[in-house]
């Protein structure tokens, strides 16, 4: 059939799947959908992480204060928690690898 001209595409003289302009529109539409999906996913992840970090902070304050109005800061809580979490994360990662 040869190359499809822009005029033929506008007049719909050919099947739409053969029209380069329709393909460009389709590609642009798919690209926009993917971009919006990525943006929405990032917003959702950010909202969940913000809430999670806030809850972690609240739990640490409650643990550190132990019912008192003010906490005695300077303890080794964060250092110990960091080490414990790294050990847990390493074990979880190892379990993930082993399950493959």
- pLDDT tens per residue, range 5-52: 566 555 555 455 566 677 788 888 889 999 999 999 999 999 999 999
Tens of pLDDT, residue by residue over 69-84, are 766 665 677 778 888 8
Under 8 Å between Cβ of 37 and 47 = no
Q: Where are the domains of the chain?
A: 6-99
Under 8 Å between Cβ of 14 and 4 = yes
**Alpha-carbon distances, residue 53 vs 35, 46, 59, 64, 90 (angstroms):** 27, 10, 10, 16, 20
pLDDT at position 1, please? Answer: 45
């Amino acid at each position: 059939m040869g190359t499809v001209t822009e005029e033929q595409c506008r007049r719909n003289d050919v099947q739409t799947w053969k029209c380069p302009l329709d393909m460009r529109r389709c590609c642009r539409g798919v690209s926009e959908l993917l971009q919006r999906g990525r943006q929405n996913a990032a917003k959702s992840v950010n909202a969940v992480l913000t809430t999670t970090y806030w809850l972690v902070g609240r739990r640490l304050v409650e643990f550190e204060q132990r019912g008192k109005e003010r906490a005695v800061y300077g303890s080794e809580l964060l250092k110990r928690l960091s080490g414990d979490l790294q050990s847990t994360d390493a074990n979880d990662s190892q379990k993930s690898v082993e399950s493959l």
